[in-house]
Amino acid sequence: MKKALPYIILVLLLCWHAVMFAQDRFPRPEFETDYVYPEHQMPTQRAPFWQYIDLAVLIGALIVTTWLALKKRSRQGLLWMSVFSLAYFGFYRQGCICSVGSVQNVSLALFNDGYTIPLTALLFFIIPLVFALLFGRVFCAGVCPLGAIQELTGFAPVKLPKTVDVVLASVPFVYLALAVLFSATNSTFLICRYDPFVGIFRLDAPYTMIIFGVLLLLAGIFVNRPYCRYLCPYGVLLNIFSRFAGKHLTITPAECTNCRLCEASCPYDAILPSNTEQVSEAPERSRKRFILYFLFIPLFAIAGGYLFKNLAPALSGVNSTVRLAREIRFEKESGIEAVTKSALAFKEAGQTEADLFAQEEFIINRFRKASPWAGIFLGIALGIGMVSLSIRRRRTEYKPDQGKCYSCGKCFKYCPIKVKSSNEV
């Protein structure tokens, strides 16, 4: 009730405003007949309890997917799970709210006082990460509708050259950093804005987004899961959490015999080969290199922070208020009349320019404060990426790279070792 109070006051104010300032150009009629005013038609939305049903479905789907991937080891089952999630979260619930987008709600709530986050949005954000920490990226395997639509359309996987893959795989980090920055400064929800598949789920969107979505799906026939691998910002978080997963899907149900049959089976290049045959270098040398690379991390962080600090004014251009202020200022300086809809609305509304410029200053300052952190995050991520390249772990088996593996189960059938009892138990 206390939380609702400001809104009650707002509504009352608006009513008062309406009564006081209604443009009563024409007197309201005094009806002689017994005319009754029709009611406002204000349909309510879907009952609120539905969002808790969504939550229950999310948790249920995660549990079933985990069981299918880790215990039952059924690729078929995972595919059916994808179909279900695509149908429910995608086509039935039409894509909102999703875990991928919830990143922004969390960041908006963390850094803005005016916004309280709906419990469901918070849980949609946290729960898949908890599952990732426990069991790997089972969310991607069969629950995420964006992942599902790509999983179901990836027919003919081809491999990208390693360097291309590495370069493209850094895009999600930048995307995540920008998305968090833009929502933290209450500017825009980047992820939702460029969500390629939500238009397909709704069968309705600006045609540019539909084209983008369809193109991605077409590309995905060959380069499977292009959104997941080279764009998805939530995937970055899942990737990090999944690396520390307590349990994770394994390629073989028993002991790996190094037969190499699964080596090329993963469409996402997520299988780490066993490397017992490789000559290992002297531990002294690798330790030195490790320390050297480690020292690079703060350097990268500082460089990233510095770079993004300088980018702050440019980045603040995504904020519509800042854009409007720039337009009005340009009009003042050059004399060319500002004609965009926002400029016209601004003039009509009669807000003062000083006000607008003060707002602009405030927003740019927020960007100045926040954007170095985005740079620092990217610097650290780059540094850690390099360090991990320098570590060469000895592996005596073929196993999934826990960060990259979507737990899709495609590799299961390539492993010749079959354990009968595991299916029957």
If one asks whether residue 344 binds other proteins (CB under 8 A), the answer comes out as yes
Residue indicated by tokens 């899907």: 249
Vertex 254 angle, CA 250 and 259, to 5°: 85
CB-nearest residue to ligand SF4: 147
Give min distance, CB of 1 to other proteins, in A. Answer: 11
Pick from 196, 226, 235, 383: which binds ligand SF4 (CB under 6 A)?
A: 235
DSSP 289-310: HHHHHHHHHHHHHHHHHHHHHH
Q: Does 199 bind other proteins (CB under 8 A)?
A: yes
Tokens found for residue 279 = 């000559």
Residue choice 81, 108, 232, 370 for contact with ligand SF4 (CB under 6 A): 232
Q: Considering only residues 258-297, where is the footprint of ligand SF4 by CB under 6 A?
A: 265-266, 268, 270-271
Q: How far is the CB of 340 from ligand SF4 (least distance, A)?
A: 20
> Which does residue 409 bind out of other proteins, ligand SF4, none, counting CB within 5 to 8 angstroms by kind?
ligand SF4
How far is the C-alpha of 400 from the C-alpha of 411, rounded, in Å?
9
CA separation for the pair 309, 314 (Å, rounded)? 10
Cβ–Cβ < 8 Å for 190, 182: yes
Output 331-337 pairs: Cβ under 8 A, ≥24 positions apart. Answer: none
Binding residues for ligand SF4 restricted to 386-425, rule: CB under 6 A? 400, 405-411
C-alpha distances (whole Å) from 411 to each of 133, 269, 421 are: 22, 11, 20
Q: Give the one residue of 53, 119, 211, 299 binding other proteins; rule: CB under 8 A.
A: 119
Partner touching 59 among ligand SF4, other proteins, none, CB below 5 to 8 Å by kind: none
Nearer to ligand SF4, 147 or 213 (CB): 147
350 scored as a contact of other proteins (CB under 8 A):
no
Site map for other proteins, 301-340, x if CB under 8 A?
-------------------xx------------------x
Cβ proximity to other proteins: between 51 and 224 the closer is: 51
Q: Check residue 203 and report its DSSP letter.
A: T
> Cβ closer to ligand SF4: 182 or 406?
406
Mark 22-61 with x for binding to ligand SF4 (rule: CB under 6 A) and - for no binding.
Answer: ----x-----------------------------------
Q: Of how many residues is the chain composed? A: 425
387 touches other proteins by CB under 8 A:
no
Residue 144 engages ligand SF4 in binding (rule: CB under 6 A):
yes
**Closest approach of ligand SF4 to the CB of residue 393, in Å:** 17
Residue with tokens 């196993």: 399
Closer CB to ligand SF4, residue 69 or residue 376? 69
Q: Which two tokens stand for residue 271?
A: 């299988």
Is residue 97 within the footprint of ligand SF4 (CB under 6 A)? no
| Binding-site partner at residue 346 among other proteins, ligand SF4, none, CB < 5 to 8 Å by type | other proteins
Q: Please tell me whether the peptide bond between 380 and the residue prior to it is cis, using omega within 30 degrees of 0.
A: no
Rounded CA gap, 293 and 299, in Å?
Answer: 10
Q: Give first-to-last CA distance, the chain, whole Å.
A: 53
SS3 193: helix
Phi-psi region of 13 (alpha: psi -120 to 50; beta: other; left: phi over 0): alpha
Q: Does 32 bind other proteins (CB under 8 A)?
A: yes
- Between 187 and 242, CB nearer to ligand SF4: 242
Q: 194 vs 71, 178, 190, 235, CA distance in Å?
A: 36, 13, 6, 15
Q: Is 31 exposed, middle or buried (0-12, 13-18, 19+ CB in 10 A)?
A: exposed
Segment near ligand SF4 (CB under 6 A); pick from 30-38, 139-147, 211-219, 240-248: 139-147
- Euclidean distance between CA atoms 66 and 246, whole angstroms: 13
Binding residues (CB under 6 A) for ligand SF4: these are 26, 100, 139-140, 144, 146-147, 227-228, 232, 234-235, 238, 249, 251, 265-266, 268, 270-271, 400, 405-411
